[in-house]
Homo-oligomer: A and B are copies of this chain.
Amino acid sequence: MHEVMIIGAGPAGMTAAVYAARKRLKTLLVSKDIGGQAIWSSKIENYMGYQFIEGAELMRKFDDQVKLFPIDQMIGEEVTALERSNGTFQVRTAGGETLQAQALILASGKHPRLLNVPGEERLRGRGVSYCATCDAPLFSGQAVAVVGGGNSALEAARDLISIADHVFLVSPTKITGDPLVFDRLKSASNFTAFLEAEVTEINGSKLVEGVKIRDRQSGRRDEVRVGGVFVEIGRVPASELAKDLTGVNQFGEIEVNRNCETAVPGLFAAGDVTDVLDKQIVIAAAEGAKAALQAHRYLQNLRYLQSLASTDKVA
């Protein structure tokens, strides 16, 4: 039984772990990966202390700092279920383990919104990617499709245009991202845009071989041969674990107060999975610190109440 379990090892979760360990709490950090969304940022200029740093590099530094403290870690482990009984939290992992803690900090961040079309799940990691920053270099000399019309889709297309043979942009709406970036893309000879069009299927036997596209106005169907599909249609809070336990808002974000408390005693949440207004690395880190310090107060109070109860028993 740990005193505090932290789910997620992005900026919020790693900072929470350091703060919890510095309060000498027996701490467990469980996460399927390290660095969360931050590792996808190629260029960070607003994390104070570093004028310029890549997301992956900054997250390595966070991870090094975590390793200085006596923090139990289960990295590469996905949490599939969370419940609370008798005032403690039970967690089930994809690997079949059951973990317990007296306090829990959910710092699971956001994950990419899925297209939910045939072929997407089967070909994930086989040409279907949710991270152009991570995977673009793999598609050198191939044609690729980017799905989305916002800034993250335009930036993915811009990254890919100098690597891939051809870039097809399929935007379900008109372009909502920066018009200047889109203008520059249009002037490239290896770029084609389908606007107000949807991907209806991703084809391929073992690897992605093409996508089917339907024009939303005319109903016209196209098919293009691509080796990669980058899905860039936004991110959603990874709040599934907690939404039966505590309140989430209309965006699926876990509702917390300014001290990162949820409606459930002992359950805290921090960072992009919460309804904190601004999603920024320094803010997620600070919220992780707050959650750990508040969890420490919660546990101290719990000990105090337990000591009163045991005194009663003796008397």
What is A's interface to B at a CB cutoff of 8 Å? 11, 14-15, 18-19, 22, 45-51, 58, 61-62, 64-65, 68, 257-259, 276-278, 280, 282-283, 285-287, 289-290, 293-294
Contact = CB atoms under 8 A, between A and B. Distances in A.
A257 B15 CA distance: 23
Interface centre among A48, A68, A257, by most chain B C-beta atoms within 10 angstroms, is: A48
A49 B68 CA distance: 12
Contacts of A277: 258-259, 290, 293-294
Copies of this subunit? 2
Contacts of A46: 18-19, 22, 289
Contacts of A294: 277
Nearest to A297: B277
Contacts of A18: 46, 48
Contact of A286 (B62, B259, B287): B287
Nearest to A294: B277
A65 B50 CA distance: 7
Contacts of A15: 48, 282
A258 B277 CA distance: 9
A29 B65 CA distance: 32
Contact of A289 (B22, B45, B50, B278): B278
A23 to B, nearest CB: 11
B51 A11 contact: no
Contacts of A19: 46
Given A276-B258, A278-B290, A51 B22 contact: no
B48 A64 contact: no
Interface centre among A19, A64, A278, A282, by most chain B C-beta atoms within 10 angstroms, is: A282
In order of increasing CB-CB distance, the 9 nearest A-B pairs are A286-B286, A258-B258, A283-B286, A282-B286, A49-B61, A278-B293, A15-B48, A48-B62, A48-B285
Contacts of A280: 286, 289
A255 B210 CA distance: 57
Contacts of A283: 286, 289-290
A288 to B, nearest CB: 9
B47 A64 contact: no
B51 A49 contact: no
Contacts of A49: 47, 49-50, 58, 61-62, 65
Given A48-B65, A49-B65, A282-B289, 13 more contacts: A14-B48, A15-B48, A19-B46, A46-B289, A49-B49, A49-B50, A51-B61, A51-B65, A51-B68, A277-B290, A277-B293, A278-B290, A283-B289
A283 B283 CA distance: 8
Contacts of A45: 22, 68
